Amino acid sequence: MGHLAWNRKRVLTFVTLALCALVAATAGITVALRPRVGATTPPSIEFSTEEHDFGRIGDEDVTVHDFVFTNRGGNALRLGEIKTACSCTVAKSEGRETPPGGSGAIRISFDPKGRKGTVTSSILVYTNDPARSSVVLKLRADVVPRVEVSPSAVRLGKVRPGEIVRAEVTLDAAEALSTISIGNVSSTNNQLQVQGTSGGNSGKQQTAHVSLQIELRVAPGTEAGALHSTLVIKVSAPAPRTVAVPVVAEVVSDLESFPALVSVQEGKPDTVFETELTLTSRSGRPFKLKTVRLESPDKLSADGRPSEMSVTTASPTHRVRISGTTPHQAGGFRAMIVLETDAAGSELVRVPLQGSVRDGR
């Protein structure tokens, strides 16, 4: 019996030692698998907020906001390129590297000048966080102009060289302002000259609403075509500022051709054709028609014969008959009828002519 008890004791001792060895080995494995904080954990960026609303701001109120972030990882967080979606926002960061557990900020400056209503913008931030290599920050603002201008652009339509036209611009102060004072008004294009203003001139009118009447003159000799300028209005509301209003006009010659495009109906080659146009003064001023010639790159031969001046509906009018011969080869053809006059600003009037020739076979 004593021998059997001794053997049991040996077996229990062996089992106990084996279990202890297994526990020790398991504990060692657990310690080996536990990561060392600060050595192997990647950086992790976390913003306190990724969107900001400036609310209601004036169009001259440059505002600033800091997007604060924290590095929740175990390695240094580094910021890369920071891109803004529009020129109204500028982004800056004091430090490009943030240690584990540290915080930083990206400062955004928002300039609402020239904008109105709801304005949104975004900022793209690149980082070395493997989980968030890029982060999009968003901004929003309701921009209220200190001075509301109507219309936003002045469209004069068709105007003639030397003609005086009138435009109306209204200016309304924002809610926080009590008065608007109008100063000088000028044009950025010397072909459109400001002749005078009324309704808010010389800074004498103190009111929250101004209806400004502006007389504009198209400079004599201005060529036909689109005319662009900007009205620059000096305003005190209450601090001095400048209001810019675009102006668009179509300058037309005082002399008008009808039709504006002459079409030749004859469709056969080497065929005599005859057509007619009228040249009329829009202003009703008498003028002389000196010569008529044809500029033809397609070898179109023609003669222009001006008639005697006749007066219809109190507008001086010249009727011009054009006769000629179509080209020898089939296909389309074009030319330019050039009329020389003594009308100031309309010395040369060009009227396109076109047609087509079919194969005569």
Residue type (1 letter), 11? V
Same fold yes or no, 45-144 and 255-357:
yes
- Stretches where the chain sits below pLDDT 50 are 1-2, 4-6, 11, 15, 17, 23-38, 201-205, 304-314
> Would you state the pLDDT for residue 175?
60
Two structure tokens written together for 304: 């222009």
What CATH homologous superfamily does 45-144 map to?
Immunoglobulins (2.60.40.10)
The pLDDT of residue 103 is: 94
135 bridge partner residues = 125
Main-chain phi, psi angles of 23, to 5 degrees: -60, -45
262-302 pLDDT tens trace: 888 767 887 888 888 888 887 788 888 888 887 876 555 55
Which class is domain 255-357? mainly beta
Per-residue confidence (pLDDT) for residue 204, from 0 to 100: 46
Q: What is the structure's pLDDT at 282?
A: 79
* Topology at the third CATH level for domain 147-251: Immunoglobulin-like (2.60.40)
Q: What is the pLDDT of residue 247?
A: 95
* Domain assignments of the chain as residue spans, ordered by start: 45-144, 147-251, 255-357
The single-letter DSSP state of residue 129 is: -
Separation of alpha carbons 221 and 211, rounded Å: 31
Burial of 135 by CB count in 10 Å (0-12 exposed, 13-18 middle, 19+ buried)?
Answer: buried
The whole-angstrom separation of Cα 259 and Cα 257 is: 6
Burial class of residue 338 (count of CB atoms within 10 Å of its CB; 0-12, 13-18, 19+):
middle
What is the predicted pLDDT for the residue at 361? Answer: 55
Q: Cβ(309)–Cβ(284) under 8 Å?
A: no
3-state secondary structure of 297: coil
Question: Exposure of 4 by Cβ count < 10 A (0-12 exposed, 13-18 middle, 19+ buried)?
Answer: exposed
Which pLDDT does position 110 carry in this prediction? 95
Residue 323 three-state SS: strand
Task: Give dist(CA 210, CA 354) in Å, integer.
Answer: 52
